[in-house]
Structure 1
């Protein structure tokens, strides 16, 4: 399966600023959340401040983020990083590509593999059969409508346990949530790394 980018010129277009400004005054619990986020990732992110316009969205998003898988015996950091980068590319979220591809080399991904993901080449020679199946699943789950053929279900079951499939599916859904929310608000790249300066596909 190959993911094709129709409009290469504008697909990864970044924004100078978000479409809306945050409220002048943030609720104290949003300020605490934004402070914690900045302390952990060393970046002053715009998203929690914007979500302060509707605090329930900020709180529920924070809870979702706090419960995602960051490493697992079966679904390791490399697999999770592939999911996060792939979804970010499919949604065309420059902020998400920048953040999710940051320190890709620390989980054993190469620049060539990152470019293969950006080009939708999920059969790149260094991706294992297990990774290729997972990437096809990411593609199917990130499309609309979501249609998962029985053949894909069978292949997933060959490579992953039930628990592994749940971790993969929930990670795909979680990254889709964030990427679509961030992209829809026009939040600019935060400058985690230089991935977004790479040549577009």
Structure 2
């Protein structure tokens, strides 16, 4: 059967915000809490990009690439993110956070065992793990909205 895929937005992002403004308000509150969490903002953006790659959400990948660039995250950390295990440039803390993000995102495929939790807890406090998990849940939510509604990816920063 031929593909009927298109890149046209089904609902525009701005229209979505107008339809359900409460979602934006709630997500802004989560974002505010994440900013106050003490977790490195660049790490949160890297996690959001990787999760969005896993979920195939072009809007969120581009959105968070733009945000990461505003934070001056080096291209050397952004460009190889999809092949991060082979890149060898991520710190142990970043590697364990990315592994946690992938496992939380792919929960049905990758049960999170005690060994995985032990690895993440070696680099993050209980409080930080709670915030990491919230950041991952938040971007998974946005991926599940933006991808099926085909929000148009935002213009890259500097374009």
TM-score by length of 1: 0.66
Corresponding residue pairs, total: 152
| Number of the residue aligned with 1:19 | 10
**Gapped regions of structure 1 (runs ≥ 5):** 1-12, 21-45, 196-201
> Equivalent residue of 1:126, what SS?
coil
- What is the DSSP-based 3-state SS (H/G/I as helix, E as strand, rest coil) of the residue aligned with 2:80? helix
User: CA-to-partner distance for each residue in 1:158-185, whole Å, 9 max, x for gaps?
Assistant: 1111110011000000001001200010
Unaligned 5+ segments in structure 2 are none
* Residue correspondence of structure 1 range 5-154 to structure 2 within 5 A: 15=7, 17-20=8-11, 46-50=12-16, 52-53=18-19, 55=20, 58-68=21-31, 69-70=34-35, 72-73=37-38, 75-119=39-83, 121-122=84-85, 124-145=87-108, 147-154=111-118
Give the structure with the larger helix fraction.
2
For 1:127 and 1:192, locate their aligned partners in 2 and report how far apart those are by CA, in whole Å. 24
RMSD: 2.4
Determine helix, strand or coil for the equivalent of 2:59.
helix
Q: Which has the larger radius of gyration?
A: 1
> Are 2:145 and 1:181 equivalent residues in the alignment?
yes
After TM superposition, the score normalised by the length of structure 2 is 0.82
On the 8 A contact 2:45/2:67 being kept in 1, the answer is no
